[in-house]
C-alpha cells in the first residue's frame, strides 16, 4: 500500500511538474505568435515604408512602385506574414530589406552585445538589491535607511536618459574624463574586450533597478520580521543572523520575485533607451534603427528576441514563486 | 553592523574597479578614426539611392569620379583626363587618365566606365539620382580604345563635366569574382553597415596619397554621440558637429576646428501651387517675417551667412543684384491683410534629421508670430515625413549639392526633389539654356538670372547659408577647408601622429 | 459564528477611514506641501515668467547673467521662463496616467487572482503580450498615426505601466487566497466581487500605495522620455523633458539649461513619492496593530 501510494505520488509529481511547464511553453509560443502578428500589423500601419526610406526625397512615384515590387511589398499582407512565419519555422530569419544583409547575422551581433550588457547589469543588480534592502530594513528609520529611501525616490523619479546624461557629464565629458561617453564596440569584437564601454550603460540600468528592488526587499523584510512567526523565533532566543538568513530572507524573497522578474525583463527590453543613449550596438539600438527604416524582418527578429527573453524570465520567476508558495505552505503546516 | 562593513567593502571594490578601467583608446599608431552618423542602409557598392554621411565618407575613399569639384568649387578631372564636346554639344569624347590601377590590381579602363554608367541608368537598380545624367544615352557610349569613349547624348548638354563631378556618379569596377572594387585612395578590409568600415591605404593610388596606413570609419547613432566620442578620445575626426557644441569643443586645447562651406543645408519650403501660398502676397509676407541674422546666430551658432531666398552661395558666379530681404513685420502684416489672410494658421513639418532644422523651424515660428501668423511646428519620424514628401504644404526641406544639380533638381517641374511644385516658365526656359551651353561666362550669367527668379517667386525661404564645422584632435594634421564641406573625408596629404 | 464575521469586518474597515492618521505622517504632510507648492508654481509660472518662453533673448547657451538668471538654452531663450512654463502638461498628465494605471492594473490583478481559470489565463497572457510589445514601437505607431495628442500620450503611459502594476498586485493577492478570512468568506457563500472588494483590496492597500507612488514617478519619467525622443510635447512649447533633450548637447557649456528642468522633474515626483511612502507606512503600522 505504502509503496504503491508513494509510486503514485511520484508519477503524479512528475506530471504535476511537467504539465504546467508544457502548458507554459505552449502559452509562451502562442504569446510570441501573437506578438509577432501584432508587431507585423503595427509596423505595417506606420506611415511610410522601407521604399520611402531607401529612395529618399529624390524618388519619383514610379521608382517607389518599382522598388516595392522588388521587395515584395506589393503582396497581400497575410501572404507577407505567412512567408515570414514559414521562414522562421524553418529557421530562416530572412534578409534585411534596407541593406540586404542576412537578418541572422545582424541579430547575432545585437544579441551578443545586449546579453552581455543585461547580464552584467543583472549580475550586479540582484545581489546588490538584496544587500541594500536588507541593510535598510535592519537599520529601519535610521539615518542610512532614510538616505536610502530618499535616494530610491529620486532614482526612481529620474528617467533613464537623465541618469545616463548625468553619468556621462560626471564621468565622461564634463567633470571627469575617465570613461567613454559612447560605447562603441567594433562589430567583430566581444564587449568584454571593452569593459570600460560597459560601465556607464550598465550603471544606468543598475541604479534604478537596485533602487526599485531594494525598496521591495526592505518592505518585505520589515513585514516578515513583524510576523508572529519571526517574533516567536526571537522569543525562542534564536540568533538575529539566523532569523534573518534562515527565516526572514527566504520569506522576503518570495514577494519580490515577480517584481524582480519584471525588472529582469525590463532590463532586457528596456535597454532600448540606454543603448540608444550610449550608442551601444545591441538589440535595442537595432530595433530603433529598424523601426526608423521600416525594415520589417529586422523589426520582427529583434522583437521576437526581446519578447522571448521576457517570457523566459517570467517562466523562471513563476516557477520560483510556485516553489516558494509550496514551501511556505509546507512550512506553515509544519 | 556586518552589512555596513559589507557596503563599505563593496564601495571600495567598485571604486577600485572604476579606476582600473582607465580610458581604453582603441586607435593605434598610423590609424585615423573618423566618426560619422551611421546609416544601416549603406552598401559597399556606390550606386545606392540613399545618400548618407557614412556612405559618402566610405565612397570617397573607395571610388573616384570621372571629374570632381575641387575644394574651391572648380570642376577638375579625376579618372578622366579630358572631356571634349563637338560643336553642337551632343557628342562628347572622354579620354581616361592612363595607368590607373584598381584595388584588385587590374588596370582601370573604359569598360569599367561604360558598365558603371549602364548600371546607374538601369531603372531596375533604383539609382534615383540618375535623372541628373538623363542626357546620357547608355546604349550610345562607344568604346574607342581602352582609355577613350564617345558619348552620343540624347540632347545637347553643356554641363557634362559638372554633371559627372557630382559625388553620386563615382565610378566602380567589378572584379573577376563578381565583387565590387574601386580606384580610390583606400581599399576596403571589413564593412558592417551603419557601424564600422575598416580600410587600408591603396599604395598604387594615382592621386595624392594619405599620410597614414589605416582608416576606420565608425558610425554613431547621432550627432551627440559623435561629439562625445571626440571629447572622449575615441575618434580623431568628427565629420561634422552640432553648431551649439562648438563653443564647448573649442575650449578643449587638444581639439582643432576647420570651418568649411557646405552645399547641404536646411531651407523652409512652401507649395506654391496651393492656397494660401499660391498668393504672391502671402509668399512675400512669409519671406519678410524672417529675421535672418537671428537664424544665423541662434540656429547655426553664428557659423554661417545670411541668405537671400535663393540657393547656391557656392557658385563661382556673381550674386544677383536683388536687394537683401530684411525683416519687415509691418510690410508683412500689410501684405497679409491685402491678401485677406491676416490670421494665418499653419503647420510646419520637419523630420529634424539635419542639424539646425528644428532650431530654424522654431525660430521661424516665433518670428512669424510677430506678424500674426500662427505656426505649429511638428517633428515627424523620417519615414512618416518621406511618405508624404511633395505633399506637405509647409516643410523644412534640405538642399544638397552644387547649384547646377541641386537647384535644378528642386525647381524644375516633375523633378523628385521639387517639394514646392515650382513651375515657372521663365525659369524653365533659362534652365534649359544653362544645360545646353558650354561657355563658362554664359553659364554664370544664366545662374545669376535663375537666382534672381528664385528670389522673387520660388517657394523656398532660404534664411541662412550655414557653414560646416569639422573638429579633430591635434594628432591629425593636413585637413583643409572645403567649399563642399568634405574637410573630414579628403585625406590626401593628411598625417596622424600618436 | 456571525459575531466573528462582524468583528472581523469592523477590524478590516478601520484603516481605510483613517485619513487623519495619514495626515499625521510627516512624510505625507511634506509630500502634500511639495505637490501643492509645485502645482501652484506650475500654474502661476507662465504669468510670472520674465520673458516669452519661445522668444530668444540672447545668444545660444549664454551663461547666467542679470538678463537671464539661469542663462539661455540652445536657441538663446530664457531658461528660467521656460522652466516656469514647462510643467503645465506634466502637472495633469502624470497624475492622471498614474491613477488610471493603478486602478486598472489593480482591478485586473484582483479579478484574475481571485477567479483564476480561464479569465486569469487570458487576461494575464494578454498582459504578457502587452509587456513584451516594445513600448517604442507602440509610441511610434500611435504618435505617427494620430499625432502627439496629450490624451493619447496618457493612454500610452497607462498601457505601459498597467501590466506591471497588475503583476505586482497579483503577486501580493495570491497568498491572501489561502488566508483563513478569505477561505471562510468563500465557505459562507460571499459573492466573489464582495470578497475582492472587502477582503482582498484592503489587504493589498500597502503595495497598492507604494505602486501609486512609484507609478507617478514613472509616469513623469515616461512622459518626459517621450518628449526626449521627440514624440511627446512638441516644440517650441516649453516642457521639462523636452528641455533636457534640446539642451543635452550643451551640458558642458550651460548645464543649468538641463539641470533646472531635471530638478523640477525630481521635485515633482518626490512629492508623490513622499505621500505614497508615508501612506504605506501608516497602513503597515495599522495593519500590524490589527
Q: Where are the beta strands (DSSP E) in A57-199?
A: none
pLDDT, residue A255, reads 63
Q: Give the A window 88-117 contacts with C, CB below 8 Å.
A: none
SS3 state of residue B417: coil
Comparing CB atoms, the residue among C128, C138, C270 nearest residue A153 is: C270
> Domain for residue A95, yes or no?
no
Give the residue on B whose Cα is nearest the Cα of A195: B21
Residue to test with chain A: of B126, B220, B222, most A Cβ within 10 A: B126
With CB atoms and an 8 Å threshold, state whether B389 touches A173. no
For residue B110, the model assigns a pLDDT of 94
Residue B378 and residue C234: Cβ atoms within 8 Å? Answer: yes
Same domain, A107 and A75: no
Among A43-47, A199-203, B154-158, C42-46, name the one with the lowest average pLDDT: A43-47
Parent domain of A134: 103-333
Contact C136 A215 (CB under 8 A): no
Task: Compute the distance between CA of residue B2 and CA of residue A324 in angstroms, rounded to an integer.
Answer: 27
Neighbouring chains of C at 3+ CB pairs under 8 Å are A, B
Give residue for cell 530654424.
B360
pLDDT tens-digit readout, B275-322: 899 999 999 999 999 999 999 999 998 899 999 999 877 677 888 888
Q: Of the candidates B350, B340, B345, which has an alpha carbon nearest to the alpha carbon of residue B378?
A: B350
Q: Searching chain C, which residue's CA lies closest to the CA of residue A268?
A: C132
Domain co-membership, A78 together with A112: no
| CA-based nearest residue to A46, from C150, B391, C140, C148 | C140
Domain end, chosen from A89, A115, A144, is at A89
Which subunits have 3 or more CB–CB pairs within 8 Å of chain A?
A: B, C
ipTM of the complex: 0.76
pLDDT of residue B25: 42
Please indicate, yes or no, whether residues A60 and A134 belong to a single structural domain of this protein.
no
- Cβ distance of B383 and A182 shorter than 8 Å: no
The DSSP H or E segment spanning C20 is helix C19-24
pLDDT(B61) > 90: yes
Look-up of cell digits 523589426: A299
Average confidence score pLDDT of chain A: 78
Nearest to B24 among A46, A62, A196 (CB): A196
**In a 3-state reduction of DSSP, which class is residue A276?**
helix
List pLDDT tens digits, range C5-29. 343 443 444 344 345 666 777 877 8
Q: Which residues of A touch B48 (CB under 8 A)?
A: 54
Q: Which residues of C touch B304 (CB under 8 A)?
A: none
Q: DSSP per residue over B82-149, as a string?
A: EEEE-TTSSEEEEEEPTTPBPTTSPBP-HHHHHHHHHHHH-GGG--GGGGGGTT--GGGEEEEETTEE
Contact C252 B248 (CB under 8 A): yes
Distance CA C255, CA C250 (A): 7
Q: Hey, is the C-beta of A159 within 8 angstroms of any chain C C-beta?
A: yes
Tens of pLDDT, residues A95-137: 888 888 889 988 888 888 888 888 888 889 888 988 888 888 8
Q: What percent of chain B has pLDDT over 70?
A: 94
pLDDT tens digits, residue range B101-155? 999 999 999 999 999 999 999 988 888 888 888 899 999 999 999 999 999 999 8
Is the CB of C64 inside 8 Å of chain B's CB atoms? no
A59: contact with B, CB 8 A cutoff: yes
What is the domain count for chain A? 2
pLDDT value at B438 more than 90: no
How many angstroms separate the CA of residue C230 from the nearest CA in chain B?
7
Q: State how far residue B79 is from chain A, nearest Cα, in angstroms.
A: 27
Identify the CA nearest to B408 among candidates B388, B427, B394: B427
pTM of the model: 0.81
Categorize the per-residue pLDDT at A18 as very low, low, confident or very high, splitting at 50, 70 and 90.
low
C-alpha of B378 from chain center: 24
Q: CA–CA separation, C245 vs A276, rounded Å?
A: 13
For residue B343, give the C-alpha cell: 490670421
Q: Are residues A117 and A183 in the same domain?
A: yes
Cross-chain Cβ contact B377/C56 below 8 Å: no
- Give the C-alpha separation, A291 to B247, whole Å: 34
- Is the CB of A214 inside 8 Å of chain C's CB atoms? no
CATH number, domain of A218, equals: 1.10.3720.10
Does residue C191 sit at the B interface (CB-CB below 8 Å)? no
Rounded to an integer, what distance in angstroms lies between the CA atom of residue B276 and that of residue B310? 21
Chain B residues whose beta carbon lies within 8 Å of the beta carbon of residue A112: none
B319 touches chain C (CB under 8 A): no
Beta pairing partners, B141: B151
B383/A53 touch (CB, cutoff 8 Å), yes or no? yes
Please state, in angstroms and rounded to a whole number, the distance separating the CA atoms of residues B319 and B96: 35
Q: For residue A17, what pLDDT is reported?
A: 62
- CB-based contact, A147 to chain B, within 8 Å: no
Same domain, A262 and A328: yes
Query: Are B383 and A294 within 8 A, CB to CB?
Result: yes
B466 vs C contacts (CB less than 8 Å):
none
Task: Measure CB to CB from residue B224 to each of C61, C234, C249 and give the nearest one.
Answer: C249
Task: Examine residue A97 and state whether it is found in any structural domain, yes or no.
Answer: no
Chain C residues 90-149 with CB within 8 Å of chain A: 121, 125, 128-129, 131-138, 140-141, 144-145
Within 8 A by CB and 6+ apart from C105, the residues are C161, C162, C163, C164, C165, C166, C169, C211
- Is residue A319 assigned to a domain? yes
Report A:164-203 residues touching B (Cβ under 8 A). Answer: 168, 172-173, 177-182, 184, 186-188, 194-197, 199
Q: What is the pLDDT of residues B485-494, one digit of tens each?
A: 888 898 988 9
Domain C22-49+76-288 superfamily per CATH: MetI-like (1.10.3720.10)
Q: Cα separation of C131 and A317, whole Å?
A: 15
Based on the fold, state whether residues A243 and A299 are members of the same structural domain.
Answer: yes
Give the pLDDT confidence of C215-237 residue by residue, as tens digits. Answer: 887 788 788 778 877 777 777 78
Q: Kindly report the nearest CA distance between residue C217 and chain B, in angstroms.
A: 26
Question: What pLDDT score was predicted for residue A262?
Answer: 65
A160 touches chain B (CB under 8 A): no
Q: Which residues in B lie closer than 8 A to residue C54 (C-beta atoms)?
A: 362, 365-366, 369
Q: Which of residues 69-88 of A touch B (CB under 8 A)?
A: 70
The closest CB to that of B384, out of A48, A197, A295, belongs to A48
Residue A333 has pLDDT above 70, yes or no: no
Helix/strand/coil for A287: helix
**Residue A94 belongs to a domain:** no
Please indicate if any CB of chain A lies within 8 Å of the CB of C183. no
- What Cα–Cα distance (Å) separates residue A209 from each residue in A167, A224, A307? 16, 22, 19
Same domain for A263 and A326: yes
Q: How far apart are CA A300 and CA A36, in angstroms?
A: 6
Whether residue B330 is predicted with pLDDT greater than 90 in this model: the reply is: yes
Mean predicted lDDT score pLDDT of chain B:
86
A215 and C210 in contact by Cβ < 8 A?
yes
Q: A157, C255: Cβ pair inside 8 Å?
A: no
Instruction: Spell out which residues of chain C touch residue A43, defining contact as CB-CB under 8 Å.
Output: 137, 141
Q: Looking at the structure, do residues A120 and A68 belong to the same domain, yes or no?
A: no
C132 to A269: CB separation less than 8 angstroms, yes or no: yes
Cα separation of B287 and B326, whole Å? 9
Tell me which chain C residues have a C-beta less than 8 angstroms from the C-beta of B223.
249
Same domain flag for A295 and A198? yes
- Could you tell me the pLDDT band of residue A233, with boundaries at 50, 70 and 90? confident
Check CB contact under 8 Å for C230 and B299.
no
Asked if A285 and A109 count as a contact pair (C-beta separation under 8 A), the reply is no
Same domain for A127 and A73:
no
User: What percentage of residues in chain C have a pLDDT greater than 90?
Assistant: 10
Give the pLDDT confidence score for residue A268 in this predicted structure: 67
**Strand pairing class (B75-77; B80-85):** unpaired
Comparing CB atoms, the residue among A47, A162, A174 nearest residue C145 is A47
Query: Is the separation of the CB atoms in C214 and C276 below 8 Å?
Result: yes
- With CB atoms and an 8 Å threshold, state whether C147 touches B376: no
In A248-267, the residues whose Cβ lies within 8 Å of chain C are: 255, 257-259, 262, 265
CB-based burial label for C218 (10 Å; 0-12, 13-18, 19+):
buried
When pLDDT is cut at 50, 70 and 90, the band that residue C132 belongs to is low
Contact at CB, A182 and B228, closer than 8 angstroms: yes
Q: Which residues contact B1 (CB under 8 A, 6 or more apart)?
A: none
Report the alpha-carbon distance of residue A215 to residue A221 in Å, rounded.
10
Q: Confirm or reject contact between C224 and chain A (CB < 8 A).
A: yes
| Sequence-separated (6 or more) residues with CB below 8 Å from residue A316 | A261
Largest CA distance in chain C: 79
Question: Residue C269's closest CA among C82, C34, C30, C100?
Answer: C34
Residue A20 lies in a domain: yes
Distances, alpha carbon B74 to alpha carbons B159, B161, B311, B407, in Å? 13, 11, 18, 17
Tens digit of each residue's pLDDT (9 = 90 or more) over A174-225: 777 778 777 777 777 778 878 888 888 899 888 888 888 888 888 888 877 7
Judging contacts by C-beta atoms under 8 Å, the chain C residues touching residue B384 are 144
CB–CB of A55 and B384 under 8 A?
no
Share of chain A above pLDDT 70, in %: 84
First to last CA, chain C: 20
Put simply, whether C189 touches A (Cβ < 8 Å) is: no
pLDDT in tens, B8-43: 444 444 444 444 443 344 444 589 999 998 888 888
Measured between CB atoms, which of C135, C167, C274 is closest to A262? C167
Contact C265 A162 (CB under 8 A): yes
Amino acid at each position: 500500500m505504502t509503496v504503491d501510494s508513494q509510486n503514485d505520488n511520484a508519477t503524479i509529481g512528475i506530471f504535476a511538474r511537467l504539465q504546467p511547464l508544457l502548458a507554459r511553453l505552449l502559452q509562451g509560443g502562442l504569446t510570441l505568435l501573437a506578438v509577432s502578428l501584432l508587431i507585423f500589423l503595427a509596423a505595417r500601419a506606420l506611415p511610410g515604408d522601407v521604399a520611402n526610406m531607401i529612395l529618399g526625397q529624390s524618388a519619383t512615384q514610379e521608382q517607389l512602385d518599382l522598388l516595392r515590387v522588388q521587395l515584395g511589398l506589393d503582396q497581400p499582407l497575410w501572404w507577407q506574414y505567412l512567408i515570414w512565419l514559414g521562414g522562421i519555422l524553418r529557421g530562416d530569419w530572412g534578409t534585411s530589406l534596407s541593406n540586404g544583409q542576412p537578418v541572422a547575422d545582424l541579430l547575432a551581433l545585437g544579441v551578443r552585445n545586449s546579453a552581455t550588457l543585461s547580464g552584467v547589469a543583472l549580475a550586479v543588480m540582484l545581489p546588490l538589491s538584496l544587500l541594500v534592502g536588507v541593510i535598510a530594513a535592519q537599520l529601519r528609520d535610521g539615518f542610512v535607511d532614510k538616505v536610502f529611501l530618499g535616494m530610491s525616490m529620486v532614482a526612481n523619479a529620474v528617467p533613464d536618459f537623465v541618469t545616463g546624461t548625468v553619468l556621462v557629464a560626471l564621468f565622461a565629458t564634463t567633470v571627469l574624463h575617465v570613461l567613454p561617453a559612447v560605447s562603441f564596440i567594433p562589430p567583430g569584437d566581444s564587449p568584454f574586450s571593452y569593459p570600460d564601454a560597459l560601465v556607464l550603460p550598465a550603471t544606468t540600468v543598475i541604479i534604478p533597478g537596485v533602487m526599485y528592488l531594494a525598496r521591495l526587499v526592505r518592505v518585505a523584510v520589515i513585514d516578515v520580521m513583524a510576523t508572529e512567526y519571526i517574533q516567536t523565533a526571537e522569543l525562542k532566543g534564536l540568533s538575529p543572523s539566523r532569523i534573518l538568513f534562515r527565516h526572514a530572507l527566504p520569506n522576503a524573497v518570495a514577494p519580490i520575485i515577480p517584481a524582480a522578474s519584471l525588472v529582469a525583463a525590463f532590463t532586457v527590453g528596456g535597454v532600448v533607451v540606454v543603448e540608444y543613449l550610449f550608442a551601444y550596438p545591441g538589440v535595442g539600438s537595432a530595433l530603433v534603427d529598424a523601426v526608423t527604416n521600416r525594415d520589417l524582418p529586422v523589426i520582427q527578429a529583434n522583437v521576437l528576441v526581446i519578447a522571448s527573453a521576457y517570457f523566459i524570465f517570467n517562466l523562471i520567476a513563476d516557477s520560483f514563486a510556485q516553489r516558494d508558495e509550496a514551501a511556505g505552505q509546507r512550512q506553515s503546516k509544519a | 553592523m556586518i552589512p555596513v562593513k559589507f557596503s563599505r567593502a563593496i564601495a571600495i571594490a567598485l571604486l577600485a574597479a572604476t579606476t582600473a578601467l582607465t580610458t581604453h583608446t582603441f586607435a593605434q599608431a598610423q590609424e585615423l578614426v573618423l566618426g560619422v552618423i551611421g546609416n544601416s542602409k549603406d552598401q559597399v557598392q556606390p550606386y545606392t539611392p540613399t545618400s548618407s554621411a557614412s556612405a559618402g565618407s566610405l565612397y570617397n575613399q573607395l571610388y573616384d569620379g570621372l571629374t570632381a569639384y575641387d575644394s574651391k568649387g572648380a570642376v577638375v578631372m579625376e579618372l578622366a583626363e579630358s572631356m571634349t564636346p563637338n560643336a553642337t554639344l551632343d557628342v562628347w569624347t572622354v579620354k581616361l587618365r592612363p595607368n590607373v590601377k584598381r584595388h584588385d590590381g587590374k588596370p582601370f579602363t573604359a569598360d569599367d566606365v561604360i558598365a558603371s554608367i549602364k548600371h546607374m541608368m538601369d531603372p531596375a537598380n533604383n539609382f534615383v539620382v540618375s535623372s541628373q545624367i538623363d542626357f546620357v544615352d547608355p546604349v550610345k557610349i562607344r568604346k574607342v580604345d581602352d582609355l577613350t569613349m564617345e558619348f552620343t547624348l540624347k540632347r545637347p548638354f553643356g554641363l557634362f563635366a559638372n554633371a559627372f563631378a557630382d559625388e553620386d556618379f563615382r565610378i566602380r569596377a567589378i572584379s573577376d569574382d563578381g565583387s565590387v572594387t574601386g580606384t580610390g585612395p583606400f581599399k576596403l578590409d571589413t564593412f558592417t553597415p551603419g557601424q564600422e568600415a575598416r580600410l587600408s591605404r591603396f599604395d598604387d593610388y594615382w592621386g595624392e596619397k594619405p599620410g597614414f596606413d589605416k582608416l576606420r570609419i565608425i558610425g554613431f547613432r547621432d550627432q551627440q554621440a559623435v561629439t562625445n566620442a571626440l571629447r572622449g578620445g575615441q575618434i580623431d575626426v568628427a565629420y561634422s558637429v552640432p553648431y551649439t557644441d562648438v563653443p564647448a569643443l573649442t575650449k578643449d586645447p587638444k581639439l582643432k576646428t576647420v570651418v568649411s562651406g557646405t552645399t547641404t543645408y536646411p531651407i523652409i519650403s512652401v507649395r506654391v501651387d496651393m492656397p494660401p501660398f499660391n498668393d504672391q502676397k502671402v509668399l512675400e509676407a512669409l519671406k519678410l517675417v524672417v529675421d535672418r541674422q537671428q537664424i544665423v546666430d541662434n540656429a547655426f551658432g553664428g557659423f554661417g551667412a545670411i541668405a537671400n531666398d535663393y540657393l547656391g552661395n557656392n557658385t563661382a558666379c556673381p550674386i544677383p543684384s536683388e536687394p537683401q530681404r530684411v525683416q519687415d513685420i509691418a510690410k508683412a502684416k500689410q501684405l497679409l491683410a491685402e491678401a485677406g489672410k491676416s490670421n494665418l494658421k499653419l503647420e510646419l513639418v520637419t523630420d529634424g534629421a539635419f542639424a539646425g532644422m528644428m532650431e530654424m523651424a522654431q525660430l521661424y515660428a516665433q518670428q512669424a508670430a510677430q506678424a500674426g501668423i500662427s505656426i505649429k511646428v511638428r517633428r515627424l519620424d523620417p519615414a512618416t515625413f518621406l511618405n508624404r514628401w511633395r505633399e506637405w504644404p509647409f516643410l523644412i526641406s534640405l538642399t544638397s549639392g552644387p547649384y547646377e544639380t541641386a537647384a535644378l533638381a528642386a525647381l524644375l517641374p516633375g523633378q523628385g526633389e521639387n517639394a514646392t511644385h515650382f513651375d515657372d516658365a521663365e525659369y524653365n526656359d533659362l534652365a534649359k539654356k544653362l544645360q545646353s551651353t558650354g561657355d563658362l561666362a554664359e553659364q554664370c550669367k544664366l545662374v545669376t538670372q535663375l537666382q534672381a527668379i528664385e528670389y522673387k517667386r520660388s517657394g523656398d525661404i532660404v534664411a541662412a547659408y550655414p557653414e560646416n564645422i569639422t573638429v579633430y584632435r591635434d594628432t591629425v594634421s593636413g585637413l583643409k577647408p572645403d567649399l563642399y564641406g568634405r574637410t573630414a573625408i579628403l585625406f590626401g596629404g593628411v598625417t596622424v601622429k600618436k | 459564528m456571525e459575531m466573528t464575521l462582524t468583528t472581523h469586518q469592523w477590524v478590516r474597515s478601520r484603516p481605510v477611514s483613517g485619513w487623519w492618521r495619514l495626515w499625521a505622517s510627516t512624510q505625507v504632510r511634506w509630500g502634500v506641501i511639495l505637490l501643492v507648492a509645485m502645482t501652484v508654481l506650475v500654474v502661476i509660472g507662465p504669468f510670472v515668467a520674465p520673458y516669452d518662453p519661445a522668444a530668444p533673448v540672447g545668444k545660444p547657451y549664454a551663461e547666467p547673467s542679470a538678463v537671464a538668471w539661469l542663462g539661455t538654452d540652445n536657441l538663446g531663450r530664457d531658461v528660467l521662463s521656460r522652466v516656469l512654463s514647462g510643467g503645465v502638461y506634466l502637472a495633469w498628465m502624470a497624475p492622471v496616467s498614474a491613477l488610471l494605471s493603478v486602478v486598472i492594473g489593480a482591478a485586473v490583478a484582483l479579478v484574475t487572482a481571485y477567479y483564476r481559470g480561464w479569465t486569469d489565463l487570458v487576461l494575464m497572457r494578454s498582459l504578457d503580450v502587452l509587456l513584451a510589445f516594445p513600448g517604442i514601437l507602440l509610441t511610434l505607431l500611435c504618435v505617427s498615426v494620430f499625432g502627439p495628442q496629450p490624451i493619447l500620450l496618457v493612454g500610452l503611459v497607462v498601457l505601459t505601466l498597467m501590466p506591471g502594476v497588475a503583476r505586482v498586485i497579483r503577486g501580493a493577492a495570491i497568498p491572501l487566497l489561502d488566508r483563513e478570512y478569505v477561505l471562510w468568506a468563500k465557505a459562507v457563500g460571499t459573492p466573489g466581487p464582495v470578497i475582492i472588494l472587502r477582503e482582498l483590496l484592503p489587504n493589498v492597500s500597502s503595495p497598492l500605495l507604494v505602486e501609486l507612488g512609484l507609478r507617478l514617478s514613472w509616469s513623469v519619467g515616461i512622459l518626459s522620455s517621450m518628449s526626449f525622443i521627440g514624440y511627446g510635447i512638441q516644440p517650441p512649447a516649453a516642457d521639462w523633458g523636452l528641455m533636457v533633450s534640446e539642451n543635452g548637447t550643451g551640458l558642458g557649456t550651460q548645464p543649468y539649461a538641463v539641470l533646472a528642468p531635471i530638478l523640477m522633474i525630481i521635485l515633482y515626483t518626490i512629492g508623490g513619492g513622499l505621500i505614497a511612502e508615508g501612506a504605506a507606512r501608516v497602513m503597515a503600522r495599522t495593519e500590524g496593530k490589527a
